[in-house]
Structure 1
Amino acid sequence: MVKRCAFALLVLVLAAGMLLTGHEAAAEEPWAEIEGESFDFIVGYDAGGSHDITARHMAEGLTELGIEVDVTNMPGGDATEAGYHVADSDPEENIVFWAHPPAQLFDPATRDVGYDFEDFDPVATMGSPTFVFAALVEQPFASYDELVEHIEENPGQTVVGGQAMNHPMHYAFEMLLPSDELDYSYVNLGGGADVQANLAGGHVQAGHLSLAAALPLYEDDELEILVHTSEMAETVDAIPEVPHMRDVGVDYAEPHSLSALAPEGIDEDVREALNAAIREVIESEDFQEDMDEMGVVAVPHTIEETESYFDELVEDVLPDYEAWLEEQN
């Protein structure tokens, strides 16, 4: 009798332990809802850029958590073709738009791209690539103030290169070098690699490009980085000595955070699970190291924090951008 009671007690203890372990596992793995499922991450630019590379690093991390991710490049319309494709998709298809605010919010708010920001449910924000203003070391200026002074002393003779026209990236350029106050020539180039090539070739004297594109020349002491425009950090680890644009008197930060947006109506449990998984990847040491090497400031956001981020853009940045855009047109 005593042996039977002892055996029964042992079974109860083991069962309780297994139950506790199961609860702990569930608590440790809030993405369990989507383990074994497959997601499509749609990137609106060609392979090799910051959008594509970050998406693929994220896909690798999610795969290690048991969530399969297929990254598809769908360039066109400054990523708005990819945005339209996702917005028009069935929310049950496990499809995500991996992009930045210009394609997710600013373009839909200011021109007809076939969708609105409200056509998405924000899932997560992972942080932002760092963008910089840079010049070759041989130029007669080595700081932002010296660049402004050079333009003022040589009106109409300075050529600078950017990545867009009448676009949030052009707007960031205007915040630093207001064309109604400074006389210079602005050249719209195709992308960061084009800006880098034109800087290296001496075709433009200063340029706006991603830190990832600038780092090779910077590390070879061929490029001077004048300021950075990160919205996530005042100091960027890869370039700690470079001032933020706020440090040179320009009260602005470039909204370039990469976010995952699903079509409106995604299952809320799936949305929560995917957000938890994305945050788990962002917080991993490997992902942080990979992002640091690219000059990406990776900061995990909950769904609520992601929604608040976009709310702040709508309230604080979009009205001024719309007013500037109207002046340009």
Structure 2
Amino acid sequence: MTHLTASLSSLALRRRQLLTLAAAGVALPAARAAAWPERPIRLMVGYPPGGSVDVTARQLAEVLGPKLKTTLVIENLGGAAGALGAQRVATSPADGYTLLLGSSNELAATGVLNRAQRYDPLKDFTPIGLVSKAPVLLVAGPKAGVKTLAELVDTVKRQPGKYSYGSSGVGSTLHFAGELMKQRAGLFMTHIPYRGVAPLTNDLVGGAIELAMLSVPGALPFLQNGRLTALGVTGDQRLKTLPQVPTLAEHPLLKGYEMSGWFALVGPKGLPADVSSRLQAALQEALADATLRQRMEDMGSYAASPRDDLTTLIRDDVARFTKLADYARMRE
């Protein structure tokens, strides 16, 4: 009987020890999350320094860092229209110390045509929030011989196949913007893909091609010196920086047209819920900053609204790009 009592006491003690250890095991991750962030956060950008994604990341980091009481360190990893940087983040530990400032290219467009892409934008990231929307410009070079969107549409209708337009690459948001314009207005133009904005702009200014879809920051210097002409903006409203430039949707054949690029903050899949919530709250505080909003407007973009749902945006754009790729026979 004494032996049985001793055994039961031993079991009870062992049970209390296990419960204590289990409780400690549960409490430890919670304590870690409460202390987050304890060190700088790496903010990955899938493009070289100086482009619109990089500039947006640096502007955001300057405001978001103090909200999180840490520093956001920008790391540039260019290649594959942003997909290399996105892949790096998708395979990083989900601890809140590696994030991606991504764009509509690598988070929606590139996977439509690149079947070898090794991540799924809807499954392999934790969405934190939309940062800004960035319409692009339809721009004419000196070879085009047109100064307005109406002149361009009339000319291309009369001379189908004569005109070509360039973009920063096959399957980029700029490429899809051009193909949507062709589809809606019934225009026959040839797409010329470039590896980057610099060679595209050089050829446009030099007269090798007639037209291009360009980001606002990339086009602005050439618009200001008169070497290029903006024919239309792809967003649903005119830009405050270029109020004289109409939207493409203002043309009768392009009613309802809208194709904006966008920038978003995401983390690896499985980001702890409390870390994700803190990031979301800090992002909304940052986007309310008047200086940051003005800087975005100066770049031709505008800050996202708290009502914008990133997951829905990615899903809708992937579906839209897929339909457009099939229509334009991009995947043959």
- Interval of TM-score (by shorter of Structure 1 and Structure 2): 0.7 to 0.9
2:128 match: secondary structure = strand
Unmatched segments (≥5 aa) in structure 2: 1-33
Q: Which residue of the other structure, out of 38, 41, 54, is the alignment partner of 1:52?
A: 54
Residue pair 2:249, 2:257 contacting (<8 A) in 1 also: yes
Structure 1 moving runs of 4+ over 6 Å = none
Alignment CA distance shift 1:265-1:74 (3 Å):
same
- What residue in structure 1 maps to residue 45 of structure 2? 43
Q: Which residue of the other structure, out of 152, 161, 167, is the alignment partner of 1:162?
A: 167
Q: Is residue 2:288 matched to residue 1:283? A: yes
For 1:240, give the aligned amino acid.
P
Aligned pair count reads: 294
For 2:72, give the aligned amino acid.
V
Look at both structures and tell me which one has the larger radius of gyration over its CA atoms: 2
1:91 match: secondary structure = coil
For 2:55, give the aligned amino acid.
I
- What residue in structure 1 maps to residue 309 of structure 2? 305
Residue pair 1:33, 1:269 contacting (<8 A) in 2 also: no
2:80 match: secondary structure = coil
2:285 match: secondary structure = helix
Q: Higher mean Cα deviation, 131-140 or 255-264?
A: 131-140
Shift of 1:313: 2.8
For 1:265, give the aligned amino acid.
G
- What residue in structure 2 maps to residue 113 of structure 1? 117
* Paired-residue identity, %: 22
Q: Which residue of the other structure, out of 222, 225, 229, is the alignment partner of 2:227?
A: 222
For 2:77, give the aligned amino acid.
M
Residue pair 1:105, 1:116 contacting (<8 A) in 2 also: no
1:99 match: secondary structure = strand
Q: Which residue of the other structure, out of 99, 104, 110, is the alignment partner of 1:101?
A: 104
- For each residue in 1:105-159, what CA deviation from the matched residue of structure 2 results, as whole angstroms up to 9, or x when unmatched? 3333552211112111100111122310011367421112211222233344323
Residue pair 2:177, 2:213 contacting (<8 A) in 1 also: no
- What residue in structure 1 maps to residue 268 of structure 2? 263
For 1:185, give the aligned amino acid.
T
Q: TM-score, normalised by structure 2?
A: 0.80
Q: TM-score, normalised by structure 1?
A: 0.80
- For each residue in 1:161-203, what CA deviation from the matched residue of structure 2 results, as whole angstroms up to 9, or x when unmatched? 2222244432211111249954433321222333322222122
For 2:44, give the aligned amino acid.
I
- What residue in structure 2 maps to residue 12 of structure 1? none
Residue pair 1:166, 1:325 contacting (<8 A) in 2 also: no
- What residue in structure 1 maps to residue 89 of structure 2? 86
Alignment CA distance shift 1:197-1:318 (3 Å):
closer
User: Counterparts in 2 of 1:175-324, with a 5 A limit?
Assistant: 175-178=180-183, 181-230=186-235, 233-248=236-251, 249-250=253-254, 251-301=256-306, 305-314=309-318, 317-324=320-327
Q: How far, CA to CA, are the matches of 1:326 and 1:201 in structure 2? A: 29
Q: Indicate the RMSD between aligned Cα atoms, in angstroms.
A: 2.6
